[in-house]
């Protein structure tokens, strides 16, 4: 799964005339990455499509109708946990001891969904919440192998897309981005380009310890839990440009 896929998809997000209609973005993402479904959702948004939820993606209409008609939104463990989480999580790791929770998963399989799933929670620049869910029919081994790459690419794509959605929905400018030092900016920029801490240390002629320090400071200023989230938020807020 080469980085060219990420840049191709990122260009598609940047080129959207209207993020609220997505213009085939998610269908393209599904084909490019060989996944079954990819869906963005925002709860309690100004523009609502189903019971207070704005949804864009590749889920079949029949499943969405079934999902909302049966009020799965209130019992779906992926949706419920995703509203509180700050880091990506695998659907498989969620408890399914609740019969209603099991029903959501079981009936999704009946609608042709794969058994593998990944949720990327979003905490936006103004504190709003959303999530991107990825579904796949991969084997357990294949899924485990490529999940880190999906997280790496889609965390940045998701937050940038979310930024576009919020701007169009609410017609307001995002909160002011934090001011990063030159070193923090450089470290984030190279991280966004896919460089490791070691590679960045060579490029900037700094120790790996210093690079980690600058990345950690940038992450704290951006209010993020992980380096990838910090990169995503920096891209979405315009602090760094990866084009």
Least confident of 69-73, 157-161, 175-179, 226-230: 175-179
Domain boundaries of the chain, sorted by first residue: 3-170, 182-236
Q: Do the beta carbons of residue 5 and residue 32 sit within 8 Å?
A: yes
- pLDDT, one tens digit per residue, over 170-218 is 765 555 567 889 999 899 888 887 788 999 999 999 999 999 999 999 9
- Per-residue CA distances from 7 to 10, 31, 156 (Å): 5, 15, 11
Provide the pLDDT confidence category of residue 48 given band limits of 50, 70 and 90: low
The larger pLDDT score, comparing residue 107 to residue 164, is at 107
> What's the pLDDT at 202?
93
Superfamily of domain 3-170 in CATH is Transcription factor LuxR-like, autoinducer-binding domain (3.30.450.80)
How long a stretch of residues is the chain?
243
> What's the pLDDT at 175?
53
Q: What is the CATH number of domain 182-236?
A: 1.10.10.10
pTM (two decimals)? 0.77
- pLDDT, one tens digit per residue, over 122-142 is 887 667 889 999 999 999 999
- By the 10 Å C-beta count (0-12 exposed, 13-18 middle, 19+ buried), 190 is classed as buried
CATH topology identical between 3-170 and 182-236? no
Using the predicted structure, report yes or no on whether residue 29 has a pLDDT greater than 60.
Answer: yes
Among 104, 114, 102, 110, residue whose Cα is nearest residue 143: 114
Q: Do the beta carbons of residue 190 and residue 183 sit within 8 Å?
A: no
């Amino acid at each position: 799964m080469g980085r060219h896929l990420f840049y191709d998809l990122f260009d598609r997000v940047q080129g959207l005339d209207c993020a609220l209609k997505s213009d085939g973005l998610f269908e393209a993402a599904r084909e490019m990455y060989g996944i079954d479904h990819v869906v963005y959702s925002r709860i309690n948004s100004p523009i609502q499509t189903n019971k207070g939820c704005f949804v864009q993606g590749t889920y079949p209409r029949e499943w969405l109708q079934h999902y909302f008609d049966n009020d799965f939104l209130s019992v779906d463990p992926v949706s419920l946990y995703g509203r509180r989480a700050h880091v990506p999580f695998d659907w498989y790791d969620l408890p399914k001891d609740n019969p209603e929770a099991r029903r959501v998963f079981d009936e999704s399989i009946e609608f042709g969904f794969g058994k593998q799933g990944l949720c990327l929670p979003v905490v936006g620049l103004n504190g709003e919440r959303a999530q991107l869910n990825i579904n796949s029919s991969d084997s357990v081994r294949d899924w485990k192998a490529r999940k880190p790459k999906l997280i790496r690419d889609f965390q940045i794509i998701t937050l940038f897309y979310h930024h576009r959605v919020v701007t169009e929905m609410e017609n307001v400018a995002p909160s002011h981005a934090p001011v990063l030092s030159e070193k923090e900016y450089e470290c984030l920029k190279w991280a966004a380009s896919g460089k490791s801490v070691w590679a960045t240390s060579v490029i900037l002629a700094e120790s790996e310890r210093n690079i980690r320090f600058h990345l950690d400071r940038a992450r704290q200023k951006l209010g993020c839990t992980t380096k990838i989230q910090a990169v995503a938020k920096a891209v979405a807020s315009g602090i760094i440009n990866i084009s």
